[in-house]
């Protein structure tokens, strides 16, 4: 059936439009398809990584329950190497740091804490590692250790960890016998804790002991 004049004009306009913009349209569609394919591939990869990491983490916990620390450390190391982008790697490294601490190996403990502080994809795990590392460095007390702790304490704390950051700053001052600044930091930490009611009561008791020791008043 022959086209009428209006239909023929519309067809001619479409042909002209397609001739002018076909390369652009094809390019945009190709880019969208490639983006979707890349996103789908990443989702598959991310899910498979998480599954494999969770299985390795279970292996680590099983080794701990059996008292096999060497196997637990090996699992943690494999997690760092193969699944560093997953939260399981940070979890495993924090657990491994505690194992090393319990075994009296402070150097190994700090190695795991440093890895977590630098590579954890989860900000909460990263903050926990830094807080524990700061405590270890402050306890050791050398000029280099205190300088390293100072660098981390100057970072903006993760939301929800402000009080603990201030408490560690107080510890840092106290290690240098600067009681006045330590008290100021502890008092600021106490005020933060009062604004964050979900903090464990044990954290409040420990901070109160520190605050009382430097002559502060915790109400």
Q: Per residue in 77-116, pLDDT tens?
A: 988 888 888 888 888 899 999 999 989 999 999 999 999 9
Q: Which domains does the chain have, with CATH numbers?
A: 52-142 (1.25.40.10), 156-219 (1.20.58)
| pLDDT tens figures, 7-49 | 666 666 666 666 766 666 666 666 665 565 554 544 554 666 6
Compute the distance between CA of residue 166 and CA of residue 187 in angstroms, rounded to an integer. 9
Chain-centre distance for alpha carbon 162: 15
Ramachandran angles phi, psi of 103, nearest 5°: -85, 0
Residue with tokens 């196997």: 71
* Confidence (pTM): 0.73
């Amino acid at each position: 059936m022959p086209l009428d004049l209006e239909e023929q004009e519309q067809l001619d306009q479409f042909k002209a439009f397609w001739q002018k913009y076909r390369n652009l349209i094809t390019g945009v569609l190709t880019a969208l398809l490639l983006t979707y394919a890349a996103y789908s591939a990443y989702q598959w990869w991310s899910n498979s990584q998480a599954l494999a990491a969770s299985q390795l983490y279970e292996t680590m916990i099983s080794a701990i329950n059996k008292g096999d620390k060497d196997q637990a450390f090996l699992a943690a190391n494999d997690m760092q190497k193969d699944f560093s982008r997953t939260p399981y790697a940070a979890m495993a490294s924090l657990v491994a740091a505690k194992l090393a601490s319990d075994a009296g190996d402070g150097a190994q403990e700090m190695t795991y804490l440093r890895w977590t502080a630098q590579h954890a994809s989860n900000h909460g795990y990263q903050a926990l590692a830094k807080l524990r590392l700061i405590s270890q460095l402050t306890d050791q007390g050398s000029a280099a250790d205190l300088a390293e702790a100072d660098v981390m304490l100057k970072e903006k704390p993760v939301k929800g960890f402000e009080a603990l950051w201030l408490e560690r700053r107080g510890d840092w001052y106290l290690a240098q016998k600067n009681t006045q600044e330590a008290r100021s930091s502890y008092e600021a930490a106490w005020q933060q804790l009062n604004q964050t009611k979900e903090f464990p009561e044990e954290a409040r008791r420990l901070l109160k002991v520190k605050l009382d020791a430097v002559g502060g008043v915790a109400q």
